[in-house]
Amino acid sequence: MSMVKTQVQLPREDLEALRRDAAEEGVSVSELVRRAVKDSLESKQKPTQRELMERALSVAGKYHSGVPDLGERHDYYLAEALEEEAKHWKSS
């Protein structure tokens, strides 16, 4: 990976804090800035369809509702819960 030099202006307090953190971790300030930029960019990336599927499959079957016919009557139970919620808000 090739690096491109750039310049960033920071408030003095932030730079001092970065220098302390870098010293504690035994890395350069530049490395901490690169990590922060990378983390910021990665957090904004949308997950791929495959990642979404893997997340969904990782939790499938992990939780139990205690309602034996939830798979067949999920719409009924959702409507029931929404009605109860609406009643709660109307009485508030």
Q: Rounded distance, CA 34 to CA 3, Å?
A: 10
Q: Can you give the residue ranges of every domain in the chain?
A: 12-44
| Residues 65-76: tens digit of each pLDDT | 888 998 899 999
Of 71, 78, 69, 6, the C-alpha closest to 37 is 6
Are 35 and 22 contacting, i.e. CB atoms less than 8 angstroms apart?
no
* CA distances in angstroms from 47 to 14, 20, 22, 53, listed in the order given: 31, 34, 31, 10
Q: What is this structure's pTM?
A: 0.51
pLDDT at residue number 43: 87
Residue 46 has pLDDT above 80, yes or no: yes
pLDDT at residue number 62: 86
pLDDT at residue number 81: 93
* CA distances in angstroms from 87 to 77, 78, 81, 82, listed in the order given: 15, 14, 10, 9
pLDDT at residue number 63: 84
pLDDT at residue number 9: 97
Residue 90 has pLDDT above 80, yes or no: yes
